[in-house]
Amino acid sequence: MLSLVHLTKEYGKTRVVDDITLDIESGTTFGFLGPNGAGKTTTIKMIVGLSHPSAGTVNINCGDPRDKSVRERIGFMPEDPYFYDHLTGSEFLSFCANLFPKKSPRKHSDILKSVGMFEYRNQPIYTYSKGMKQRLGLAQALVNDPQYLFLDEPLDGLDPIGRAEIKKVLLELKKRKKTIFLNSHILSDVEEICDEIGIINKGKLIFSGKVKEFCDGKNLESRFVDVINQDNKS
Amino acid sequence: MRNIFVVAQNTFKEAIRDKILYVILGFAALFILSTIFFGSISLGEDIKVIKDFGLAGIYLFSLLVTIFVGASLIYKEIEKRTLYVVLSKPISHAEFIIGKFIGLYLSVFISTVLMTLVYLVVVAAKGGGFDAPALIAILLQFFEIAIFVALMILFSTFSTPIASTVYAILILYIGHSLDLILKYAQKHENLSLYFVKTIYYILPNLEKFNVRNLVVHHIYPSGASVGYSFLYAVLYSTILLILATWKLKHEDL
């Protein structure tokens, strides 16, 4: 289970994430939505232990994400990922895999094939397009076969074929009961993939629950726009 | 330990695939070869001139390799967010910093070894035989480079590559002038001796590692002095790496 308890982040006097409390059951695919600058990326960085909360706690399976033992079970893909230019995709994947004490049962070739990067594996990363880096970003997050997966805009910058491939990977992970937490702007995809969503606006969590419950017969995008506009007015 | 090795191997691989390294090494080889010309226009002192210029060249080009490869080492990872990927894995900040240090140091070490080989060939070709004493100067240079690499890593945790380079060069300059500054302060009462002594003990005394002029004149440091310089380099580099780790740990990525 993933628990955020009164999670807060302040930069000087600006509160970027404001007292978020949220529980996500294991095996849930959770979409974290919000307009630009709402605090999504800051939240995900605190969840994976890259950023220190000003207040509150993050628990992943009752453990602190800054503990190595917890990080062994998580995978993280940052937004707009950038890697070591002079390595090949395959070398980068091996580098990431070697940082884990236990060898994952998943073969690198299978991971690369699943994200559509197998044929480019021996090319240096500086020759990759944005979409290819995005796919490699997902591949490195899967390299330890994590139980918890945190993805920051995983579908950003992908062409329709790439998006379909990545969605297929995510749906397969969902079938394997992985806990997936993803930030995304592409609401149609979130609607298709996620069981639950959380909506953050100006740092505050304004909704969390089932996608169907939130949509209430409408599509996610129009409901999202209504809710954000309503929240901005209030 | 394993993570340190993984990061070091990766840093080394990245560094040796960077074209800038080969450009610097190319210029270094040209410079060392050009000492033959400088030697030929001296009056019967050609071997001494070749050794003087050659050893100075190896030192300067080793610094250039460290600056060009090391200045952006951590900064680039923070700016381009590669660090997000690495530090979200089960690796500590200390393992990351030490791995970066070893990887960069290894690439500078190998570059220096290559320059030394060219130097030894040039000296031997000009009739100077195998210049074994030069190896003592190069050994001490390796100790100094360890401090310089650690400095570059520390600076790159909080400043841009250009600022890191400027800070490192300033410390390098002051570090080689500390003995002179202290002597000056002791002679002139208007300079605060306390202040100068504080700087003297805080900043690295890099002149300890400079025996290039001595070995050219066949004056060699004692084993104890080399051992002391080694311990000084290890201690100073360790302190710098601890500071770099602390800075990175408290960096809000």
Q: How big is the A-B interface in CB pairs under 8 Å?
A: 73
Residue among B14, B80, B85 whose CB faces A87 most closely: B14
Would you give the distance in Å from CA B251 to the centre of its chain? 26
8 Å CB contact of B82 and A83: yes
The string of pLDDT tens digits covering residues B89-134 is 999 999 999 999 999 999 999 999 999 999 999 999 888 888 888 9
Predicted local confidence at residue A139, as pLDDT? 92
Distance to chain B for A181, nearest Cα, Å: 15
Predicted local confidence at residue B243, as pLDDT: 96
* CA contacts within 13 A on the Cβ side of A79: 15
Grade residue B147 by pLDDT with cuts at 50, 70 and 90: very high
- A112-138 pLDDT, tens digit per residue, is 988 888 899 999 999 998 888 888 999
Q: Which residue of chain A has the CA closest to B249?
A: A50
Under a CB-based contact definition with an 8 Å cutoff, are residues A130 and B120 in contact? no
Given a contact cutoff of 8 angstroms between Cβ atoms, the answer to whether A199 and A227 are in contact is: yes
**Percent over 90 (pLDDT), chain A:** 44
Chain A residues closer than 8 Å to B92 by CB? 68
Position A85 scores a pLDDT of 85
Task: Determine the longest span between alpha carbons in chain B, in angstroms.
Answer: 63
Q: At a CB cut-off of 8 Å and minimum separation 6, what does B173 contact?
A: none
Q: Which residues of A touch B2 (CB under 8 A)?
A: 98, 101
CA–CA distance, B89 with B177 (Å, rounded to integer): 43
Nearest CB neighbour to A71, from listed B10, B81, B88: B88
Q: How far apart are CA B221 and CA A10, in angstroms?
A: 56
The contact set of A with B (CB < 8 A) is 11, 45, 48-52, 68-69, 71-72, 74, 76-87, 91, 95-96, 98-101, 124, 137, 140, 144
Q: Which residue has the tokens 């806990």?
A: A179
Q: Do B88 and A84 touch (CB under 8 A)?
A: no
Domain residue extents for chain A: 1-73+148-154+174-234, 74-146
The predicted structure's pLDDT at residue B191: 64
How far, in Å, CA of B85 to CA of B87, rounded?
Answer: 6
Tell me if B86 and A98 make a contact (CB, 8 A cut-off): no
Distance of CA B54 to the CA centre of its chain: 16
CB atoms within 10 A of CB B105: 23
Contacts of A64 in chain B (CB under 8 A): none
B100 to chain A, closest Cα gap in Å = 13
- Hey, what's the torsion of the CAs at A64, A67, A71, A76, to 10 degrees? 60
* Number of residues assigned to chain A: 234
CA distances from A219 to A174, A189, A213, B169 (A): 22, 11, 11, 60
Specify the number of domains making up chain B. 1
Q: What local confidence, expressed as pLDDT, does residue B190 receive?
A: 65
Q: How far apart are CA A47 and CA A217, in angstroms?
A: 32
- Cβ contacts (< 8 Å) between A100 and chain B: which residues? 89-90
Instruction: Give residue B146's pLDDT.
Output: 95
| Interface predicted TM-score (ipTM) of this complex, two decimals | 0.86
Beta bridge partners of B150: none
Nearest to A167 by CA among A197, A188, A148: A188
> For position A74, what pLDDT does the model report?
92
As a whole number of angstroms, the distance between CA B133 and CA B219 comes to 9
Cβ–Cβ under 8 Å, residues B98 and B11? no
* Subunit contact B2:A101, Cβ cutoff 8 A: yes
A-chain residues near B6 (CB < 8 A): 95, 98-99
Q: Which residue of A has its CA nearest to B3?
A: A99
Q: Which residues contact A71 (CB under 8 A, 6 or more apart)?
A: A48, A49, A65, B88, B89, B90
* Amino acid B11: pLDDT: 92
Angle in degrees, CA A28, A30, A36, rounded to 5: 170
Token digits for A85? 């230019």
On the question of pLDDT at A171 being above 70, the answer is yes
Q: Is the dihedral of CA B187, B191, B194, B199 positive or negative?
A: negative
Are the CB atoms for A174 and A124 separated by under 8 Å? no
- Report the percentage of chain B scoring pLDDT > 70: 99
Burial grade of B190 (CB within 10 A; 0-12, 13-18, 19 or more) = exposed
**CATH node for A1-73+148-154+174-234:** 3.40.50.300
* Domain extent at residue B244: 2-249
**pLDDT tens digits for B203-244?**
998 888 988 888 888 888 889 999 999 999 999 999 999 999
Among A43, A44, A50, the strongest candidate for a mutation testing the B interface, having the largest count of B CBs within 10 A, is A50
Pairing relation of β-strands A148-152 and A179-183?
Answer: parallel
From A77, A84, A100, residue closest to B14, measured CB to CB: A84
The HSE-up count of residue A153 (CA atoms within 13 Å, CB side) is: 18
Pairwise CB contact (< 8 Å): A99 & B84: no
Q: B20-34: per-residue pLDDT in tens?
A: 889 999 999 999 999
Whether residue B89 and residue A71 make contact (CB cut-off 8 A), yes or no, is yes
Give how far Cα A10 sits from Cα of A34, A150, B169, B247, Å. 18, 22, 36, 19
Output the pLDDT for position B213: 84
CA angle A87, A90, A91 (to 5 degrees): 45
With a cut of 90, say whether residue A106 has pLDDT above it.
no
pLDDT of A58 above 70: yes
Q: 3-state DSSP call for residue A39? A: coil
> What is the crossing angle of helices A89-98 and B2-16, to 10°?
160
Contacts of B90 in chain A (CB under 8 A): 68-69, 71-72, 99-101
